[in-house]
Structure formats: structure tokens, C-alpha cells
């Protein structure tokens, strides 16, 4: 690892890409601290801690929402638009399905449609947020709560979101890693110092030496638990089931170490099921609380959808499990895998090509997805479950685990692979030049 780190800065191209990425991330973090003109966020910061939905958006945006900064929307609208377009391309809209199969030209056109949809979603989400905030916090808009002020702030937030998307494109082209993913990870990582500071202030009681010592031990246990969760996420992201495959043209018995494998990841759906489940659980409840704040049935609904009771957490886990299977089926198609194996002249030893291969891959995929879904649900529900355990006085904002760790670990692993790939490419190029 240390050798790879040293080689990164010896390579001029990679070194320039790293510095460019850091410069773009600095622009992103600088803009996240600039509050939209004509807004007073004093009451907003206090009320943000009570909303699970806004807390999640705030986390993905690197804390920009509680400041209502020009980058408060983050890349959330683009992610939502990407998911919608991807789902519609799965034989829902024939035109999009044809574009998805149209190679590089079709993907470029789909990306253009995604960005158009992202602009619309960003303006709609920004207008809804500003309107709800101005209704709940009367002093939010300095120039009054009229529609002119709301649309003005929403336009600035939409422009900021699109500018972040442009920064992400620059990082993808001239920097290291996927630009959008790097921005999301940078926003999450920027919240870690605040999270650990809050944990220290909450857990360490400095009233006397005995309480301070016990608090330090508890804080140390908190840090160790956090690291163990990261190790578990890394294991879950890298774990895969290798199905041996063999070429029909092979006339010699393949040695075990030379056997070719078809890798199936345990967690093919990544973090998408958690985002879907969180949106379904929290978004309707938040809208109902804004529209009917004093209604008694809203309190009852909060018991089942607020993610602060055992019943709501059970529903949350069930949704994550269902969405994990659903999205895995979208990402990995056993029928297409069987078809590709047949076209390439390969087969799974002991399994007939065609229908039997499809059924076998589907059976293996379902079995490993059970493990992936359980692991994903465990990580996602941990921050909400810990505060409910008697004797653990942890605020929900500093719970261990969650969506953030899965995203950061995934981005880090993807970035490291890209750097190693560029280093390998450089070494091969140098070998050929000799």
C-alpha cells in the first residue's frame, strides 16, 4: 500500500490528477459554506436535527442544507434522475431501451436526458424545500415568504446543484475517480470531525476524574466499533461468489489455479436499496407533518414510518431486503449471462448451456443476495437502532454505521482500483517503449 502511495506521486500524470481533484473538492467545500443571499438559517439549524429526511439530505450534501448554502441540493437530484432513467430503460419506455442498447452514442443521449431531468427535479425539490422551510420557520426568508423570494432562492439552489455536477464532470475527465461519487464522499467525510466531536462531548463527562475515565473508555469503544463497521463494509463490498467456467475449445484439462471464474458480488445493489427504503419511509411522513402538523393520525403514522420505534425499524429492514432483491435483478440478468456464456463458447462445468445455466446462476444469485441484503440492512439500521437500546445515550446523528460508510468505502475502493490501473498502464507503456 505504501509503495502504491509513493508511486502515485512519482507519476506526473497521476500527481496532476490528484491535485486537480483536490482543487475541485476545495471549490465544492468552499461553496458549501456560502449561504444563499436573503436567508436567515438560525432557526433552520436548530430544527434540522429533528428531521431524519433532511438529516440524510444534509449528510449527502456535506452539511450544505442546514446552512442553506448555494450547494445545498448537492448531486441528489442528478442521482434521483439517474435512477429514474435507468428504471425506465428496463423495457418500460422502448425508446430509452433502444438508446441503452445503442452503445456509446445511446449512452451519451441518455446522459443528456438525465441531466435535463435533473434540472427539473432540482428546481422542484428546491422550491418544495424552500416553501416548507419558509412555512415552518417564519424568519427564514429575509425579504418575506412570497413566491418571488421562494423562486429566487430555488433558482440559486438549482444553479448550485448544476455547478456541482459540472465540477463532477471535470473530476471524471481530468481528475481521479468518478466525479459525482467523489463529491458525495467528500461531503460525508467533511461531517466526520463534527460527528466525533459531538461523540466526545456526549460520552465524556468531565465533572470528575472517574466519570472522565469511564467516558474516555466509552469513546474509545465507540471509535473501535466504528472501525470494525468499516472493516465489515469492506468485506461485504468485496465478497463475491466465483462460479467456475470453462471454454468448450479447451482440449486439455484446466488446472485449478488457471480456472476462469464468473464473479457474482454478494452486494450487487450497493447502497441504492437503502436510499429507496429511506425515501419511502421518511418522505411521505415529512410531507404529512408539514401539511397537517397538528393531526393526530400523523403521530400514529410516525410510529410506523419515523424510524425511531422498533416497529418502524422492522418495516425499514423489510423494505431494504425487498429493494435489494429488486435492484439486484435489474443489475444482474441471469438470462443475459447465460446467453453471453453461450456466445463466447464457455460453460459451467456440470451445467448444460442455456436454460439450465440461467436457472443455476439465478439460484446462486438469490442465495448470495440473501447474505448481502442482511448485511446491508444491518449497516443501514444500526444508527437508528443504537439510540433505542437502554443505557446507550447516543443521539441519532452520531450513530455508528449507515449509508455514509457504505458510500465512502465504495468510492475509496473504486478510486484505488483506478489509480492502480493507471500505474499498471504506465508500467506496461514503459516496458513497450524499451
1-193 shares its CATH topology with 223-249+256-415? yes
Whether the predicted pLDDT of 155 surpasses 90: yes
The fold adopted by the segment(s) 1-193 is: Preprotein translocase SecY subunit (1.10.3370)
CATH number for the region 223-249+256-415 comes to 1.10.3370.10
pLDDT digits (tens, 9 = 90+) for 32-74: 888 888 887 776 766 565 555 566 666 656 567 777 888 888 8
Confidence at residue 247, expressed as pLDDT on a 0 to 100 scale: 80
Query: How sure is the predictor about 269, in pLDDT bands with cuts at 50, 70 and 90?
Result: confident
pTM: 0.80
Confidence of residue 77 (pLDDT cuts 50, 70, 90): confident
If you average pLDDT over residues 62-89, what whole number do you get? 82
Q: Is the pLDDT of residue 14 over 60?
A: yes
Q: What is the pLDDT of residue 369?
A: 93
pLDDT per position as a tens digit, 302-341: 788 877 788 888 999 999 999 999 889 888 889 889 888 8
Q: Which residue ranges make up each domain of the chain?
A: 1-193, 223-249+256-415
Q: What is the 3-state secondary structure (H, E, C) of the chain?
A: CHHHHHHHHHCHHHHHHHHHHHHHHHHHHHHHCCECCCECCHHHHHHHCCCHHHHHHHHHCCCHHHHCECCCCCCHHHHHHHHHHHHHCCCCCHHHHHHHCCHHHHHHHHHHHHHHHHHHHHHHHHHHHHHHHHHHCCCCECCCCCHHHHHHHHHHHHHHHHHHHHHHHHHHHHCCCCHHHHHHHHHHHCCHHHHHHHHHHHHCCCCCHHHHHHHHHHHHHHHHHHHHHHHHHHHHHHCEEEEEEEECCCCCCCCHHHCEEEEEECCCCCCHHHHHHHHHHHHHHHHHHHHCCCCHHHHHHHHHHCCCCHHHHHHHHHHHHHHHHHHHHHHCCHHHHHHHHHHCCEECCCCCCCHHHHHHHHHHHHHHHHHHHHHHHHHHHHHHHHHHCCCCCCCHHHCCCCHHHHHHHHHHHHHHHHHHHHHHHHHHHHHHHC
Higher pLDDT, 372 or 425: 372
Amino acid at each position: 500500500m505504501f509503495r502504491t502511495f509513493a508511486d502515485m506521486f512519482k507519476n506526473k500524470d497521476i500527481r496532476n490528477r490528484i491535485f486537480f481533484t483536490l482543487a475541485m473538492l476545495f471549490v465544492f467545500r468552499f461553496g458549501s459554506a456560502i449561504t444563499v443571499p436573503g436567508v436567515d438559517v438560525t432557526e433552520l439549524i436548530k430544527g434540522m436535527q429533528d428531521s431524519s429526511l433532511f438529516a440524510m439530505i444534509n449528510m449527502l450534501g456535506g452539511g450544505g442544507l442546514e446552512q442553506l448554502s448555494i450547494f445545498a441540493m448537492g448531486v441528489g437530484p442528478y442521482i434521483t434522475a439517474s435512477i429514474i432513467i435507468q428504471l425506465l430503460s428496463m423495457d418500460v419506455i422502448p425508446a430509452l431501451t433502444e438508446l441503452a442498447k445503442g452503445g456509446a452514442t445511446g449512452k451519451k443521449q441518455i446522459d443528456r436526458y438525465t441531466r435535463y431531468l435533473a434540472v427539473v427535479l432540482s428546481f422542484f425539490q428546491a422550491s418544495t424545500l424552500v416553501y416548507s422551510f419558509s412555512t415552518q420557520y417564519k424568519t427564514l426568508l429575509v425579504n418575506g415568504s412570497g413566491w418571488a423570494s421562494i423562486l429566487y432562492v430555488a433558482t440559486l439552489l438549482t444553479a448550485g446543484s448544476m455547478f456541482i455536477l459540472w465540477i463532477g464532470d471535470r473530476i471524471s475527465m481530468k481528475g481521479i475517480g468518478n466525479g459525482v461519487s467523489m463529491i458525495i464522499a467528500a461531503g460525508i467525510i467533511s461531517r466526520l470531525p463534527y460527528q466525533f466531536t459531538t461523540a466526545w462531548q456526549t460520552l465524556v463527562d468531565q465533572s470528575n476524574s472517574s466519570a472522565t475515565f469511564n467516558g474516555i473508555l466509552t469513546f474509545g469503544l465507540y471509535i473501535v466499533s466504528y472501525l470494525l463497521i468499516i472493516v465489515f463494509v469492506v468485506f461485504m463490498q468485496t465478497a463475491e461468489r466465483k462460479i467456475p467456467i470453462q471454454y468448450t475449445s479447451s482440449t486439455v484439462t484446466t488446472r485449478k489455479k488457471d480456472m476462469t471464474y464468473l464473479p457474482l458480488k454478494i452486494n450487487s445493489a450497493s447502497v441504492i436499496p437503502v436510499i429507496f427504503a429511506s425515501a419511502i419511509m421518511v418522505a411521505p411522513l415529512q410531507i404529512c407533518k408539514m401539511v397537517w402538523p397538528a393531526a393526530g393520525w400523523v403521530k400514529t403514522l410516525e410510529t410506523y414510518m419515523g424510524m425511531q420505534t422498533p416497529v418502524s425499524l422492522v418495516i425499514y429492514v423489510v423494505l431494504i431486503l425487498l429493494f435489494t432483491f429488486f435492484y439486484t435483478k435489474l443489475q444482474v440478468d441471469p438470462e443475459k449471462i447465460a446467453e453471453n456464456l453461450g456466445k463466447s463458447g464457455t460453460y459451467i462445468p456440470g451445467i448444460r448451456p442455456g436454460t439450465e445455466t440461467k436457472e443455476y446462476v439465478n439460484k446462486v444469485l438469490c442465495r448470495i443476495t440473501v447474505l448481502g441484503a442482511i448485511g446491508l440492512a444491518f449497516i443501514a439500521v444500526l444508527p437508528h437502532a443504537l439510540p433505542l437500546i437502554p443505557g446507550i445515550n447516543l443521539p441519532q446523528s452520531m450513530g455508528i454505521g449507515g449509508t455514509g460508510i457504505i458510500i465512502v468505502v465504495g468510492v475509496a475502493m473504486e478510486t484505488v482500483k483506478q489509480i492502480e490501473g493507471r500505474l499498471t498502464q504506465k508500467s506496461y507503456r514503459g516496458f513497450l517503449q524499451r
